[in-house]
């Protein structure tokens, strides 16, 4: 991988209707909306915001940004702080 290529910090945006507002348990896993995978937080946040605004009338509907890069390389945060 060339040094000049920008670092990919993959993010996943998903959402769906929750069983209650106190937990992040989806009501029906078959209905979870996988919005997409994005190369950085800014683009994932824009997608999250658009989907969240579309579902504002349903209080149980929630969308989340998952930091995939942290799952793929759990030591990444500790490497950068050393």
Give SS3 for 70: helix
CB 11 within 8 A of CB 40: yes
Q: pTM for this one?
A: 0.79
What CATH fold (topology level) applies to the domain 11-67? Answer: Alpha-Beta Plaits (3.30.70)
Q: Is 49 helix (H, G, I), strand (E, B) or coil?
A: helix
Q: How do residues 64-76 score in pLDDT, each as one tens digit?
A: 999 998 888 777 6
Compare 41 and 7 and report the one with higher pLDDT: 41
Coil, helix or strand for 13?
strand
């Amino acid at each position: 991988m060339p040094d000049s290529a920008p670092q990919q910090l993959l993010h996943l945006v998903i959402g769906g209707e929750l069983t209650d507002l106190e937990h992040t348990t989806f009501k029906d896993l078959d209905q979870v909306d996988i919005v997409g995978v994005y190369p950085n937080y800014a683009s994932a946040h824009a997608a999250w915001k658009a989907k969240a605004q579309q579902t504002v009338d349903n209080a149980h509907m929630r969308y989340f940004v998952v930091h995939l890069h942290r799952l793929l390389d759990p030591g990444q945060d500790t490497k950068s702080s050393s």
